Amino acid sequence: MNACISASFWHTGTLGCDPSDPSSRTRPMPSTTARKTRGFSLLELLVAMMIIAVLGTLGFSQYRKHSAQARYLKAQDDLKIVAEGLDQYFLKHGYFPDFGSFDAMVDGNSSLVKESLIKVGMSAQDPFGQPYEGKSSRSSGTYELKCSGNPADPEEAGPILRTPGQVTGSSPVSSPRSGTGPTADAPAAEAGAKK
């Protein structure tokens, strides 16, 4: 009895193998699909890593941009809180308190904190790590609050200046309330300064 090759093993003709058939004596070729499923080529991995690197770079630059905008808005809010506290003090007493610096305004012993016109524990430094500047005077009847802005990008986030009834400075976000000139909260400050 002649043995023939079927698939990858030998068997005898009793299993239905015809020894005279030439196709039963040849081994089948390994399929090409089995070779492709073993893994990724180096080129495919490099392309995938480049796509991830580009997306990561774009994401990081957007994160930095939005982080700087958030710090600038925080500085604007801090100055607004102190300005509103000074305006409230003016409405209550008829004059602005005498403060020679921003530190004195936000100190725990200041009249603004004691009368709960501003929140306790406000920082004397802006979110960019620079000190706020400020002064108010009873005799001149005015105050001035200033933030230097973002030192890394002074064009987009420049200095902010608040005086009674006026807010000047650039804004990194585009909204109807941003930009230079008076804002929507300015009429309240003007009313405090005129009384």
How far apart are alpha carbons 130 and 146 in whole angstroms?
11
Average pLDDT over all residues of the chain: 78
Residue 129 has pLDDT above 60, yes or no: yes
Query: Which pLDDT tens digit goes with each residue over 136-190?
Result: 999 888 999 999 888 888 888 889 999 998 888 755 554 444 444 434 444 444 4
Higher pLDDT, 161 or 16: 161
Q: Which residues pair with 10 in a beta bridge?
A: 5
- Mean pLDDT for 27-44 is 69
Higher pLDDT, 78 or 187: 78
Given this model, what pLDDT does residue 157 score?
84
Terminal C-alpha separation, the chain = 121
- Mean pLDDT for 52-66 is 93
**Residues ≥6 apart with Cβ < 8 Å to 172:** 68, 69, 72, 73, 150, 153, 156, 157
Q: Measured on CA atoms in the order 111, 117, 120, 122, is the torsion positive or negative?
A: negative
- Mean pLDDT for 1-12 is 52
Q: Which long-range contacts (CB under 8 A, 24 or more apart) does 49-55 make?
A: none
pLDDT confidence of 27, banded at 50, 70, 90?
low
Higher pLDDT, 158 or 38: 158
Taking residue 179's Cβ as centre, other Cβ atoms within 10 Å add up to 13
**Given strand 133-137, what is the order of strands in its sheet?**
133-137, 142-147, 160-163, 166-169
Given this model, what pLDDT does residue 152 score?
84
Residue 110 has pLDDT above 60, yes or no: yes
Given this model, what pLDDT does residue 189 score?
42
Helix, strand, coil tally for the chain in percent (to 5): 40, 15, 45
Given this model, what pLDDT does residue 102 score?
92
